[in-house]
Amino acid sequence: MQIQLVDLQKQYLFIKEEMDKAILKVLANTNFIQGSEVQAFENEFGEYLRTVKGKTAYFPVYCASCANGTDALYLALRALGIKKGDEVITVSHTFIATAEVVVQVGATPVFVDIDAGTMLMDMKQVQKAITPKTKAIIAVHLYGQPCDMDQLMQIAKRHRIFVIEDAAQAHGAVWKGQKVGTFGDLACFSFYPGKNLGAYGDAGAVVSKNEELIEFVRCFANHGRKKGEKYHHSICGINSRMDTLQAAVLRVKLKHLDKWNELRNAHATYYLKHLELPAITIQGGAYSVWHLFVIRSARRDELLKQLKEKGIGAGIHYPVPLHLQPAFAHLGYRQGDFPVTEKIAEEILSLPLYPEMAKSELDFIIQTMQEYVYERV
């Protein structure tokens, strides 16, 4: 049996008819940049984020699409005016994009450790890392689980610091009745193909309850053009647009997202029931969308090798903490600075998890894992 970490082919076959129709419609219209699908997706995604179980929030959610999730984070920092001399607090246990963009706007990433149970930003550490230079916190809803947004927003309000949510792995995750992406000043989504909501190429979005911030992002991401302008540019921006094809793909997939997230939850529950290894603790009040199913093992590398031999596509997210990456050497961090992050990086393992997984596949993985654990004792 061959089981991939994520199987996009299975998903495509499942939605082929709708998807082909949507793509062919874009090809027929040839409106490849800023076609009507783009605005339609922005509106639909904004509505999706303000709706939980059929109940719509009192606040609006504005959405500006862009070329990818990394650009979304960059655009959010630009919208808040983060620049040289500013500090931005975030975690070392995340994908590099979260901190890379802080360097790209000239500011300094300040890393904090994570909680060993949730593997998310440790709010006590955030409090300690605040200095007069701190301008923003980027909270990462890693693996699909929401951060404790009560604590985070309280800290941010008290110190008048901006909050950006990196929701690249958490489309549809809910914290106490409210979707992630609607708490901070701005939130960023990636629609990289393997994400819970994935395009057929690169795509991303910035969302906010603040229309002005989103208007800035829209303008900046489109060569500094304001609405309706073509060769008039009010600011020097960049080119970071979502193409019409990707918007059409995402509109088809958005309709299935809740059902897919439910299936991920069902598979994760099944894993948790049958595996005896420590996994992630989900906080009370949190609905995780299980972007990844991550377990911990002191003999992770051996286990990974064993799974690979059996055709199981396990992975490590992420093997090298950001504070130990050569890319951030200039920040002067050392081994030992973030003990929880460093220990977890050596022990984590992501098992295959995607909505279309068959029970036989889950059972095969569980059986392989159990054999390994059994052999070990």
> What residue ranges bind ligand PLP (CB under 6 A)?
68-70, 94-95, 97-98, 140, 166, 168-169, 190, 192, 202, 204
Query: Which residue in the shown chain puts its C-beta closest to ligand PLP?
Result: 69
Pairwise CA distance, residues 135 & 130, whole Å? 9
Task: Provide the minimum distance between the beta carbon of 6 and ligand PLP in the complex, in angstroms, as a whole number.
Answer: 13
CA atoms within 13 A on the CB side of 308: 9
Pairwise CA distance, residues 145 & 288, whole Å? 4
What's the burial of 336, exposed, middle or buried (CB within 10 Å: 0-12/13-18/19+)?
exposed
Task: Provide the minimum distance between the beta carbon of 91 and ligand PLP in the complex, in angstroms, as a whole number.
Answer: 10
CA atoms within 13 A on the CB side of 248: 22
Task: Provide the minimum distance between the beta carbon of 376 and ligand PLP in the complex, in angstroms, as a whole number.
Answer: 32
Tokens of 303: 């286990």
**DSSP string over 129-178:** H--TTEEEEEEE-GGGPPP-HHHHHHHHHHHT-EEEEE-TT-TT-EETTE
> Euclidean distance between the first and final Cα of the chain, in Å?
26
Task: Provide the minimum distance between the beta carbon of 100 and ligand PLP in the complex, in angstroms, as a whole number.
Answer: 9
Q: Which is nearer to ligand PLP, 208 or 240 (CB)?
A: 240
Q: Which is nearer to ligand PLP, 205 or 365 (CB)?
A: 205
Pairwise CA distance, residues 279 & 91, whole Å? 20
Name 363's Cβ contacts closer than 8 Å, sequence gap at least 6.
none
Q: Which is nearer to ligand PLP, 355 or 368 (CB)?
A: 355
Task: Provide the minimum distance between the beta carbon of 201 and ligand PLP in the complex, in angstroms, as a whole number.
Answer: 10
Task: Provide the minimum distance between the beta carbon of 317 and ligand PLP in the complex, in angstroms, as a whole number.
Answer: 8
Tokens of 375: 């052999």
Q: Which is nearer to ligand PLP, 250 or 369 (CB)?
A: 250
Q: Which is nearer to ligand PLP, 97 or 277 (CB)?
A: 97
Task: Provide the minimum distance between the beta carbon of 97 and ligand PLP in the complex, in angstroms, as a whole number.
Answer: 4
Q: Which is nearer to ligand PLP, 90 or 297 (CB)?
A: 90
Tokens of 316: 């490590």
Pairwise CA distance, residues 91 & 335, whole Å? 15
Q: Which is nearer to ligand PLP, 166 or 347 (CB)?
A: 166
